[in-house]
Amino acid sequence: MKPLSTIARVYIGFVTVLGLSLIAWAVLNPESNSHSGPFLIYLSIAMLASTLKLSLPGITGTLSANFLFALVGILELTFAETIVMGCTATLVQCYWKAKTKPKPVHICFNISSMAIAIAASYFLYHSRLAQMLSASPSLLLGLVACTFFVTNTLPVAIVVSLVENKPVTRLWRECYFWSFPYYLLGAVVARLISASNRQLGWESLLLVVPVIYLTYRSYHLYLGRLENEKSQAQAMAALHLRTIESLALAIDAKDATTHQHLLRMQVYAFEIGRELGLTEQEMEALRAAAILHDVGKLAVPEHIVSKAGDFTVEEFEKMKIHSLVGAEILDRVKFPYPIVPIVRSHHERWDGTGYPDGLKGERIPLGARILAAVDAFDALATHRPYHQALSLEGALDRIVSQSGTSFDPRVVAVLHRRYAELERIVRSKSNEALASSIKPGVRAPEASALHLEVGKPQAEGTTSKDFLWSIAAARQEVQLLFELTQDLGNSLSLNETLSVLAARLRKIIPYESIAFYLLCEDRLVAEYVNGEDSELFSAVEIPLGQGLSGWVARSREPIVNGNPSVEPAYLNHPAKASTLQSALSIPLDGLSGLVGVLTLYRRERNAFSRDHVRILQAINPKLAHSIENALKYRQLETSASTDGLTGLPNARSLFLHLENELARSRRNSDSLSILVCDLDGFKQVNDRFGHLEGNKVLTLVASGLRTICRPYDYVARLGGDEFVLVLPGLQAKDLDATIHRLLGMVVAAGREVCGSDLLSMSVGKASYPADALNAEQLLAVADRAMYKVKRQHLRSNSEP
């Protein structure tokens, strides 16, 4: 039983006091014309009739044939006898085969209500009005039956209305008014019994028993048919509602929302609508609209629905069509209640600034106003891609602050007053639904979000709500793949492309380590490695056909859950150990053939599935094409900054590097030296031995320069037979030693190619900050010094 309101308590108390007062007055004032024999027979049969009771449709009350004996008592017995008989029969009806033990307040109210009905009918029958209508006994008896019907059923209908919060007129009409003909029939039977008593004696009462049973059977068959039809209608309505809810769940799962969203929408909207006095048709429309209000998002692209940031003007215009599309979809269903206006207008605002029609105030359907406030409250209180969830109190404050502008003040007032109570109802129903959907021994899924690892194999014994997670995973996969393919085309840097892919891919397929192996002639070289054991995989070169990734490269077939320990990084190294136990490897096929291999590693055994392979194969063409473009760009970039013959940086790279080194030296107050070197006698090498041998000399000299210099020194070919060395932090004494080694290296290179001492080198030096402060001045000083040395060499060579 629901908690009684104050009005219900007052009403029940009034009826009880009035009824018990009538009973006390009747018992304390018995009449002298009492007939104990007929009374006892009437009382016995009335009690028997009370056991033949029927459940009333739509409420928790019952009805029996004892009203017939109340009418007979009005005609034949005294007031006290009629009161006692009617109240005793009512008491038997309350206790006989009751589904739940009746409470004292129920007993008192029912007995009191019967006493009031008997008193009203009895005094009417024996009043002056009855004397005036004595010439028309049928009319009088019909009036008495109507009075008894109204006073017997209306008080019960009123209290049920107050307790169950249902309209009293509708409840009385649907649950009691159908029995009115039986009261008229009972009046006729009571008249016949009265006449039979006068003609045949009170023993003829025994003939009433079959009549009572026939009346009970007619009630039973009629109510049974009503109940069956009602059950079928309710079953069909429930089926339709469950169908609608399932479809709505499937649609909303693509919007990253949860069953909690729809449940909150239904509970909040229904309770607020009931408090604001919506009709039954409007309540049914609101219930369905709470489920289907976002069905129109099927017409909005996924990347807009799931966008994490603010919409652009164009994106918002696209999003706004979902209310129109939803209304058009539902209009084709031909619902028997007005759901279409609610769905169409659930984004209208109280001040008229909403969409799609700019409706204002009361022109907006009340159901749409309720949905607007509840939907906004739920959106604020739950995590969405575009914002973090607020607390319920924080979300409510936002709604209250927009009362009278965005939302109907009446709706906001109810929401503000009842949100804590409604949230408890939502949580209770959510827990019940979750508990009923989980098989014994199966752990419940996390209720916080619809996040699902895409492609993860589902364990046996999963819950009945897995279809929502599957739909959400499909939406998540589409969105992430869309973002991934966009990012792959944003950079021509190979390292940046691969690092972006690694970060994006982890959201779809979790891994502990990732490796991109590029095909270089007949082996795979690690181009990008990130995660666990990255140093181990970075140093590996895998011959085609060897190890896990080498087999994938040669066979062009993927491997799922392979053993990482067979990679060449582990071979012949028993001391090396790793926690990685699963590998997923696929070949990357570009337009010109195999580009390389992508391999993911995880700690768990059998951590990958064929669905993961499907995802990688979906991005394979785009990834391979991006890698090919990045490699071409790298090649072009290298050729633009590198000398093609010697492999040394060219003049363009030299100037960029020299500027950077000077900037670093200024910051750190370091010295910087450069050497400008020019080969002496190189023209004679070309003239005597040809340009191919000359090129060989340049290559040997370039190699020698790199060998002599430190790892962080910089060697560049300025052009022709001229080279530049950038030597940061080199002291003067070390600079002379370096020049000496350079001269020896050049002479040795000339001997190796030409077999004689044709080749030597002129070297000019300059230092920062002693000789110059910028790159151009530094090179100019060193160049002048080099030519000075060259002239000295020429003079010494020309002297006899």
Residues 300-331 have pLDDT tens digits of: 877 777 777 778 888 888 889 989 998 998 88
- My answer on whether 71 and 179 are in the same domain is yes
Q: What sign does the CA torsion over 122, 123, 126, 128 have?
A: negative
> Which range in 90-94, 346-350, 618-622, 739-743 is most confidently predicted, on average pLDDT?
346-350
Residue whose structure tokens are 């039986």:
182
Residue 652 in tokens: 């363009």
Integer Cα distance of 472 and 447 in angstroms: 14
Where does a domain end: 226, 243, 272? 226
Percent of the chain past pLDDT 90, that is, above it, reads 10
Task: For 458-468, give one letter per residue: b (16+ CB within 10 A) or e.
Answer: eeeebbebeeb
Whether 662 and 613 share a structural domain: no
Residues 587/564, Cβ–Cβ less than 8 Å: no
482 and 567 co-located in one domain: yes
Residue indicated by tokens 């095909």: 519
Under the banding of pLDDT at 50, 70 and 90, the label for residue 358 is very high
- In angstroms, how far is CA 33 from the centroid of its own chain? 79
- Whether residue 217 is found in the same domain as residue 274: no
Q: Which of 481, 520, 612, 619 is nearest to 558 (CA)?
A: 612
169 and 5 Cβ atoms separated by less than 8 Å: no
Contacts of 293 (CB under 8 A, 6+ apart): 265, 326, 342, 343, 346, 371, 375
The answer on 683 and 574 residing in a single domain is no
List C-alpha distances in Å: 132 to 34, 140, 142, 433, 742.
26, 9, 15, 65, 145
d(CA 631, CA 492): 8
Q: Which two tokens stand for residue 512?
A: 């502990």
For residue 355, the model assigns a pLDDT of 92
Give the C-alpha distances (Å, rounded to integers) separating 75 from 34, 44, 140, 197, 441.
13, 18, 11, 11, 68
Is 149 a residue whose pLDDT tops 80? yes
Question: Is it the case that residue 21 has pLDDT exceeding 80?
Answer: yes
d(CA 302, CA 467): 19
Three-state SS annotation for 389-415 = CCCHHHHHHHHHHCECCCECHHHHHHH
Angle formed at CA 422 by CA 419 and CA 423, multiple of 5 degrees? 85
Give CA–CA dist 551/123, Å, rounded.
Answer: 105
| Ramachandran quadrant class, 56 (left: phi over 0; alpha: psi -120 to 50; beta: rest) | beta
Query: What is the C-alpha to C-alpha distance for residues 271 and 278, in angstroms, rounded to an integer?
Result: 10
Cα Rg of the chain, angstroms? 48
Q: Are residues 671 and 619 in the same domain?
A: no
**Three-class HEC string of 72-87:** HHHHHCCHHHHHHHHH
Count of all residues that appear for the chain in the document: 800
Is 362 a member of any domain?
yes
Q: Which residue has the higher pLDDT, 232 or 354?
A: 354
Q: How far is residue 772 CA from its own chain's centroid?
A: 66
What b/e sequence results for 510-543 when a residue is b if at least 16 CB atoms lie within 10 Å of its CB, and e otherwise? bbbbbbbbbbeeebbebbbbbbbbeebbeebebe
Given a cut of 50, whether residue 459 has pLDDT beyond it is no
Amino acid of residue 316? F
Lowest mean pLDDT among 274-288, 765-779, 784-798: 784-798
Which range among 292-296, 398-402, 485-489, 492-496 has the greatest average pLDDT?
398-402
Instruction: Determine the average pLDDT of the residues in 599-626.
Output: 85
Same domain, 222 and 328: no
pLDDT band at 479 (very low <50, low <70, confident <90, very high): low
Instruction: Decide if pLDDT at 50 tops 80.
Output: no
Task: Determine the Cα–Cα distance for residues 130 and 771; give it in Å rounded to an integer.
Answer: 137
Displacement of CA 768 from its chain's centroid (Å): 63
Secondary structure, 3-state, 319-369: HCHHHHHHHHHHHCCCCCCCCHHHHHHCCCCCCCCCCCCCCCHHHCCHHHH
Say yes or no to pLDDT of 465 above 60: no
pLDDT single digits (tens) 717-744: 888 888 999 888 877 677 888 888 888 8
Where in the sequence is the domain holding 284, given as residue range(s)? 254-427
Contact 302, 254 (CB under 8 A): yes
Q: How far apart are CA 362 and CA 45, in angstroms?
A: 59
For residue 52, CA distances in Å to 84, 212, 222 come to 19, 9, 14
Measure the CA angle with vertex 285, ends 279 and 286; round to 5°: 85
* DSSP annotation of 205: G
Q: In this structure, what CATH number is given to the domain that contains residue 615?
A: 3.30.450.40
In the numeric block, which tokens belong to residue 544? 């085609």
Closest to 495 measured CA to CA, from 637, 377, 353: 637
Q: Is residue 434 part of a domain?
A: no
pLDDT of 363 > 90? The answer is yes
- Do residues 663 and 748 both lie within one domain? yes
Chain centre distance of CA 284: 26
Contact 12, 105 (CB under 8 A): yes
Q: Could you give phi then psi for residue 332, rounded to 5 degrees?
A: -75, -20
Number of domains comprising the chain: 4
Q: How confident is the model at residue 57 (pLDDT cuts 50, 70, 90)?
A: low
Position 444 in a domain: no
Last residue of a domain, one of 622, 641, 660: 641
Q: Does residue 658 form part of some domain?
A: yes
**C-alpha torsion 73→75→76→80, nearest 10:** 50
Q: Are residues 723 and 645 in contact, defined by beta-carbon separation less than 8 angstroms?
A: no
Residue 572 has pLDDT above 60, yes or no: no
Burial 126-136 (b: 16+ CB within 10 A, else e): eeeebeebeee
The proportion of the chain whose per-residue pLDDT surpasses 70, expressed as a percent, equals: 78
- Among 247-251, 286-290, 365-369, which stretch is predicted with the lowest mean pLDDT? 247-251
Q: Could you tell me the CATH number of the domain that includes residue 679?
A: 3.30.70.270
pLDDT-derived band at 56 (thresholds 50, 70, 90) equals: low
Contacts of 276 (CB under 8 A, 6+ apart): 366, 370, 410, 411, 414
- The band of 792, judged by pLDDT with boundaries at 50, 70 and 90, is confident
Q: Mark whether 690 and 621 lie in a shared domain.
A: no
Contact (Cβ atoms closer than 8 angstroms) between residue 333 and residue 288: no
Closest of 679, 676, 706 to residue 778, by C-alpha:
676
Name which residue leads in pLDDT, 40 or 272.
272
pLDDT at 362 over 60: yes
Q: Which residue has the higher pLDDT, 347 or 60?
A: 347
**193 and 208 in contact (C-beta within 8 Å)?**
yes
User: Six-digit token pair at 769?
Assistant: 């900050």
Q: Confirm whether 212 is domain-assigned.
A: yes
What average pLDDT does the chain have? 79
Which range (4-13, 82-91, 146-155, 453-462) has the least confidence?
453-462
Residues facing residue 584 across a β-bridge: 560, 600
Q: Please state, in angstroms and rounded to a whole number, the distance separating the CA atoms of residues 196 and 209.
A: 14
> Distance between CA 473 and CA 368 in Å, rounded?
31
pLDDT digits (tens, 9 = 90+) for 162-190: 877 677 887 787 777 767 777 787 778 77
116 has a pLDDT exceeding 50 = yes
CATH number at residue 294: 1.10.3210.10
**pLDDT of residue 55 exceeding 80:** no
Half-sphere exposure of 252 (CA within 13 A, CB side): 23
**Cβ(191)–Cβ(145) below 8 Å:** no
Q: Is the pLDDT of residue 456 over 50?
A: no
**pLDDT band for position 462 (cuts 50, 70, 90):** very low
Nearest to 163 by CA among 210, 106, 247: 106
Same-domain status, 622 and 673: no
As a whole number of angstroms, the distance between CA 584 and CA 609 comes to 9
List of residues 6+ apart from 485 with CB closer than 8 A: 619, 622
Where does a domain end: 588, 619, 641?
A: 641
Q: Are residues 636 and 658 in the same domain?
A: no
Average pLDDT over residues 251-272: 73
In a domain, 589, yes or no: yes
Q: For the segment 587-609, what is each residue's pLDDT rounded down to a tens digit?
A: 988 888 888 888 999 988 888 98
What is the CATH classification number for the domain harbouring 34?
1.10.1760.20
Tokens of 671: 């010295």
pLDDT (average), residues 493-497? 76
Structure tokens at 723: 């080279």
- Nearest 5°: the CA angle 761, 763, 769 is 165
Asked if pLDDT for residue 558 goes beyond 50, the answer is: yes
Residue 468 is assigned to a structural domain of this protein: no
CB-based contacts of 182: which residues, under 8 Å, 6+ apart? 215, 219
The Cα-based distances of 380 to 261, 376, 384, 391, 397 in angstroms read 11, 6, 8, 8, 10
Q: Which of 45-49, 51-55, 694-698, 729-733 has the lowest mean pLDDT?
A: 51-55
- Peptide linkage before 800 cis (omega within 30 of 0): no
Q: What is the dihedral of CA 608, 614, 615, 618, to 10 degrees?
A: 150
pLDDT of 344-355, one tens digit each? 999 999 999 999
Q: Same domain for 620 and 680?
A: no
β-strand pairing of 593-602 with 672-680 = unpaired
Task: Say yes or no to pLDDT of 343 above 90.
Answer: yes
Where residue 482 falls among pLDDT bands split at 50, 70, 90?
low
Hey, how many other C-beta atoms are within 10 angstroms of the C-beta on 591?
Answer: 9
In a domain, 487, yes or no: yes
